[in-house]
C-alpha cells in the first residue's frame, strides 16, 4: 500500500513541477527539473525491478536505508513547497510520508532490515508468482479469459493476419484456420 502511495505521490509531484515549468521563473524551473528527477527516482525505486534496483543501489544506495530515505523525502518535500499550490500539496504529502516512515522505523526497528531484503527482490518475480498463484486458484477466470481471447481472434482475423511478419507462409503465423 505504501508503495502505491509513494508512486502516486511521485506522479503528483512531477505534475506539480511540470505546471511550474510553464511559468517564466528560472529558479523555479530548475527546482522543477530536480523534483521531476527525484520523483522518477522514487517511482523507479518502488517498482523493485531487478535491473533498476541494481542501478539504484549502486548510485542511490541511501534509498535502501529507511532513515536516509525518510530524510530524502523531507528534502524533496521542501523543494516541492517552491512549486505553487500544487507543489505545496505534494510537499505536505511528502512530509506526511516522511513522518509515517519515521514512525514505522522507530515503532518497528526490524522494518529497515526487512525492507532492505525485500528491496533486493525482483518486483517482476513477485508479480509473476502472484499471477501464477492467482491463476491456479481461479481456473474459471483463466478459462474465461482464454475463451474471450480466442473469440476475439476468430472475429478479428483480418487484424490478426495484418500482424504477421512480411513474407510469412499463409499456414504459419498467429492464426491458422
The 10s digit of each residue's pLDDT in 140-152 is: 988 988 898 888 8
* pLDDT tens for each residue of 152-161: 888 888 877 7
What is the rounded radius of gyration, in angstroms, for the C-alpha atoms of the chain?
Answer: 23
137 and 117 co-located in one domain: no
Q: What is the pLDDT of residue 54?
A: 80
pLDDT of residue 177 exceeding 50, the answer is no
27, 78: one domain: yes
In a domain, 167, yes or no: no
Is there a single domain that holds both residue 86 and residue 141? no
More confident call, 48 vs 165: 48
Please state the rounded mean pLDDT for residues 6-35. Answer: 90
Over the range 146-176, which residues count as b (16 or more CB within 10 Å of their CB) and which as e?
A: eeeeeeeeeeeeeebeeeeeeeeeeeeeeee
Confidence class for position 125, pLDDT limits 50, 70, 90 = low
On whether both 22 and 97 belong to a single domain, the answer is yes
Residue 171 is assigned to a structural domain of this protein: no
The residue range of the domain holding 133 is: 126-161
Residues 157 and 109 placed together within one structural domain of the fold: no
pTM to 2 decimals? 0.62
State the total domains in the chain. 2
Spatial neighbors of 124 by CB under 8 A, at least 6 apart, are: 49, 50
Residues 62-114 have pLDDT tens digits of: 888 888 888 999 999 999 999 989 999 999 999 999 998 888 888 887 777 77
How does the average pLDDT of the chain come out, rounded?
82
Out of 121, 146, 172, a domain closes at: 121
CB atoms within 10 A of CB 142: 13
Examine the pLDDT at 172 and tell me if it is beyond 70. no
In a domain, 99, yes or no: yes
Helix segments in 22-122, DSSP class H: 26-47, 50-59, 66-80, 84-107, 111-119
Domain shared by 148 and 112, yes or no: no
Amino acid at each position: 500500500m505504501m508503495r502505491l502511495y509513494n508512486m502516486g505521490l511521485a506522479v503528483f509531484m512531477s505534475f506539480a513541477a511540470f505546471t511550474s515549468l510553464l511559468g517564466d521563473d528560472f529558479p523555479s524551473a530548475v527546482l522543477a527539473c530536480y523534483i521531476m528527477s527525484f520523483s522518477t527516482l522514487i517511482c523507479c525505486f518502488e517498482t523493485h525491478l531487478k535491473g533498476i534496483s541494481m542501478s539504484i543501489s549502486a548510485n542511490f544506495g541511501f534509498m535502501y536505508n529507511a532513515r536516509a530515505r525518510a530524510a530524502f523525502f523531507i528534502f524533496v518535500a521542501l523543494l516541492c513547497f517552491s512549486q505553487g499550490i500544487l507543489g505545496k500539496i505534494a510537499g505536505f504529502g511528502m512530509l506526511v510520508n516522511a513522518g509515517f516512515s519515521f514512525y514505522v522505523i522507530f515503532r518497528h526497528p526490524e522494518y529497515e532490515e526487512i525492507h532492505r531484503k525485500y528491496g533486493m527482490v525482483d518486483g517482476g518475480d513477485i508479480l509473476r508468482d502472484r499471477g501464477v498463484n492467482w491463476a491456479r486458484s481461479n481456473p474459471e477466470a483463466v478459462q474465461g479469459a482464454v475463451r474471450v481471447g480466442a473469440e476475439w481472434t476468430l472475429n478479428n482475423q483480418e487484424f490478426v493476419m495484418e500482424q504477421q511478419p512480411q513474407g510469412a507462409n499463409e499456414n504459419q503465423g498467429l492464426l491458422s484456420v
